[in-house]
Amino acid sequence: MSKPKGWKDLPEGGLIKEAGNAEKYDTGAWRSDRPIWIKENCIQCMFCWVFCPDAAITVDENGERGDFDYLHCKGCGICALECPSKVKSIVMMSEAEGAKPDALEKAKAKAVKMAGEKKAVKA
Partner 1 sequence: MKKVAMTGNVAVANAMRQINPDVCAAYPITPSTEIMQQFSTFVANGQVDTELVTVESEHSAMSACIGAAAAGGRVMNATSANGLALMWEMLYIAAGNRLPIVLSCVNRALSAPINIHCDHSDSMGARDSGWIQIYAENAQEAYDNTIQSVRIGEHPDLHLPVMSCMDGFIISHSIENLELLDDPQVRDFVGPYRGTTYPLLDVNNPVTYGALHLQDYYIESRRQLHEAHKRAKDIVVQVGKEYGKISGRSYGLFETYKMEDAEIGLVALNSAAGTAKVVVDEFRAKGVKAGLLKPRLFRPFPYLEIADALKGLKALCVLDRADSFGAAGGPLFIEVRSALYDLPKRPVTINKIFGLGGRDLGLDDLRKVFEELTTIVDKGPKSLYEYITVRE
In angstroms, the CA 96 to CA 103 distance is: 10
CB closer to partner 1, 12 vs 40: 12
Q: Does 81 bind partner 1 (CB under 8 A)?
A: no
CB closer to partner 1, 21 vs 62: 21
In angstroms, the CA 43 to CA 22 distance is: 30
SS3 18: coil
Q: Does 96 bind partner 1 (CB under 8 A)?
A: no
CB closer to partner 1, 1 vs 121: 1
Min dist CB 10 to partner 1, Å, is 5
Of 10-18, 33-41, 43-51, 89-97, the window that binds partner 1 (rule: CB under 8 A) is: 10-18
Report the candidate in 105, 107, 112 with the shortest Cα–Cα distance to residue 90.
107
Q: Does 12 bind partner 1 (CB under 8 A)?
A: yes
Min dist CB 3 to partner 1, Å, is 12
Per-residue burial over 43-76, b if 16 or more Cβ lie within 10 Å, else e, is eeeebbeeebebebbeeeeeeebeebebebbbbb
Could you say which of 19, 120, 121, 123 contacts partner 1 (CB under 8 A)? Answer: 19
